Amino acid sequence: MARTAGSHSDITGPRIEAAAARLIAQHGYAAVSMRQIAAEVGVQAGALYNYIPDKQSLLARLMVRHMEELLAAYDEPDGLNPLGQLEYFVKFHIDQNRERSDQVFIAYMELRNLTPENFAHVEQFRRQYEAKLERILTDGVTEQMFNIPDVKITTRALIAMLNGVNTWFQDAGPLSLHQVRALHWDIAYRAVIKT
Amino acid sequence: MARTAGSHSDITGPRIEAAAARLIAQHGYAAVSMRQIAAEVGVQAGALYNYIPDKQSLLARLMVRHMEELLAAYDEPDGLNPLGQLEYFVKFHIDQNRERSDQVFIAYMELRNLTPENFAHVEQFRRQYEAKLERILTDGVTEQMFNIPDVKITTRALIAMLNGVNTWFQDAGPLSLHQVRALHWDIAYRAVIKT
DNA sequence: TTTTCATATGAACATGTGTTCAGTTATGTT
DNA sequence: AACATAACTGAACACATGTTCATATGAAAA
């Protein structure tokens, strides 16, 4: 038996990435085999190689695509002062953590499993994203709205804090996403505001 | 050829754990083989099983021991008000991140590679540690020193922020550990203090 | 010196790995 | 109806995996 039904090129491709994202987020890149991914798609392992050069490329593609989509989804808010922009960033980041939790999780857990070339590629995107927040903080300091001893450290600290949400937030939990957003915004606000 | 030199039981054991910690922190549990660990120790793979029942137990032991040592190293500061205790906690956590970065990294990156039983065991320690911070924040609120909308979320947010240090701090970097401590303490302070 | 035994070897086992590819099948086109 | 080809199978490849065990070794005890 070969192809079991229909012309599936356009559907199998995305399904491979979706299955890979799910499994890798759950078990880790090294712990997931090509045969597991194939089984999740409902196909034999060999068929994956019609869509992917190799396993490493699959991981890299997953991460690059995620970073591209993340940056694309962030539409620079016009006409907001630094405080408003910071609020936008915080809520955007938390929303992304929720909507695309697998990809977000992979993007910062599997960096060490990338080849140096792929790592450099992804890292470049990561820095672009970080630069958005850093810019907001810098502007806020310039406009004497924020009081921040070290903008670079505060940038990383805030992102680390926001990423943390992904490790414990569950839809079934006691807190709504709205509450989580509000509480993190409160902390971020107090961490930067000039009093 | 068998044993190549001397009676090494008391030295090989710790060396296995040290090598495993180094390698797992760098490449991840699933990506590191028993033969790699053995090679790092300077021994054949079979010899590891004089000290370890299996690979999974090695990971679990690493994590449990780390958590035990972490909790043991934390000697409850007497006679400090909540603010002083919070400062102590922040600096303690950052110092631990530096002194035992491999173990800290493993302890929150490899949770998903534990069997359910081992996970439950480690998770219990993790909650004990988290409870220390939560207690400090609760006390601060009670004494009307802190203003915290949700103590549980703030606890997690602060720990996530502090853990973040481990992902980018390097001794060779531009900032001293002292500076990093001070900057994070500043953020934590502002996040909780009642104004 | 001889005995004892903890400590390590190295080969083997069964299974799993990523990847390739000749062959098969269903689909859309002619 | 016949064809062309995209899409997939299934078996195979070479090698890696965790783990076991009979065997060898050397240091300490007698």
**What single string gives the DSSP state of each residue in B148-168?**
-S-HHHHHHHHHHHHHHHHHH
B161 and A158 within 8 Å at the Cβ level: the answer is yes
Q: What whole-number percentage of chain A has pLDDT above 70? A: 95
The pair of structure tokens assigned to B101 is 């970065």
The answer to whether the beta carbons of residues A190 and B190 sit under 8 Å apart is yes
**Per-residue confidence band for B1, with pLDDT thresholds at 50, 70 and 90:** very low
Average pLDDT (B114-143) is 98
Partners of residue B193 on adjacent β-strands: B146
Inform me whether the pLDDT recorded for B53 exceeds 80.
yes
Q: Which of A123, A161, A180 to mutate to test the interface with B (most CBs of B within 10 A)?
A: A161
Give the pLDDT score at A114: 98
The pair of structure tokens assigned to A85 is 């922009």
Inform me whether the pLDDT recorded for A9 exceeds 70.
no
Average pLDDT (A18-46) is 98
Closest chain B C-alpha to A161 CA, distance in angstroms: 4
Torsions phi, psi of A26, nearest 5?
-80, -45
Nucleotide nearest to A50 (CA to C1'): D7
Q: Which of B24, B94, B153, B186 to mutate to test the interface with A (most CBs of A within 10 A)?
A: B153
Closest chain B C-alpha to A109 CA, distance in angstroms: 8
Rounded, the Å distance between the CA of A7 and C1' of C4 is: 72
Inform me whether the pLDDT recorded for B170 exceeds 80.
yes
| CA torsion, ordered A112, A116, A117, A118, to nearest 10 deg | -10
- With the C-alpha atoms ordered A166, A170, A175, A178, is the resulting torsion angle positive or negative? positive
Using DSSP, state whether A146 is helix, strand or coil: strand
Give the pLDDT score at B91: 97
Q: Is the CB of B4 under 7 A from strand D?
A: yes
**Per-residue confidence band for A50, with pLDDT thresholds at 50, 70 and 90:** very high
Which residue did the predictor score with more confidence, B184 or B78? B184
A30 and B30 within 8 Å at the Cβ level: the answer is yes
Average pLDDT (A14-29) is 98
What residues contact B16, with CB distance under 8 A and at least 6 apart?
Answer: B37, B41, B48, B51, B52, B58
Give the pLDDT score at B4: 46
Give the pLDDT score at A170: 83
Closest chain A C-alpha to B188 CA, distance in angstroms: 8
Average pLDDT (A12-23) is 97
Give the pLDDT score at A154: 98
* Strand C contact set, beta carbon < 7 A: A 1-7, 32-36, 45-46, 49, 54-56; B 1-4, 7-10, 12, 38, 42-47, 50
Give the pLDDT score at B180: 96
B158 and A161 within 8 Å at the Cβ level: the answer is yes
Which residue did the predictor score with more confidence, A8 or B65? B65
Give A-chain residues touching B180 at CB under 8 angstroms: 153
**What single string gives the DSSP state of each residue in A126-144?**
HHHHHHHHHHHHHHHHHTT
Q: Is the CB of B5 under 7 A from strand D?
A: yes
Average pLDDT (B135-151) is 98
**Angle between helical axes of A82-99 and A151-168 (0-180°, round to 10):** 30
Residue whose CA is minimally distant from C20 C1': A46
Using DSSP, state whether A52 is helix, strand or coil: coil
Give the pLDDT score at A43: 96
Question: Comparing C-alpha atoms, which of A170, A152, A172 is closest to residue A160?
Answer: A152
Inform me whether the pLDDT recorded for A164 exceeds 70.
yes
Inform me whether the pLDDT recorded for B5 exceeds 90.
no
Lowest-confidence segment of A4-8, B66-70, B82-86 by average pLDDT: A4-8
**What single string gives the DSSP state of each residue in chain B?**
----SS--HHHHHHHHHHHHHHHHHHH-TTT--HHHHHHHHTS-GGGGGGT-S-HHHHHHHHHHHHHHHHHHH----TT--HHHHHHHHHHHHHHHHHHTHHHHHHHHHSGGGS-HHHHHHHHHHHHHHHHHHHHHHHHHHHTT-B--S-HHHHHHHHHHHHHHHHHH--TTSSS-HHHHHHHHHHHHHHHHB--
| CA torsion, ordered B144, B146, B149, B153, to nearest 10 deg | -130
Q: What whole-number percentage of chain A has pLDDT above 90? A: 88
Average pLDDT (B139-158) is 98
Inform me whether the pLDDT recorded for A46 exceeds 60.
yes
Which residue did the predictor score with more confidence, B11 or B150? B150
Rounded, the Å distance between the CA of B16 and C1' of D16 is: 21
Inform me whether the pLDDT recorded for B80 exceeds 90.
yes
pLDDT in tens, A95-135: 999 999 999 999 999 999 999 999 999 999 999 999 999 99
CA distance A76 to A79: 10
Q: Is the CB of B55 under 7 A from strand D?
A: yes
Inform me whether the pLDDT recorded for B88 exceeds 50.
yes
Give the pLDDT score at A134: 98
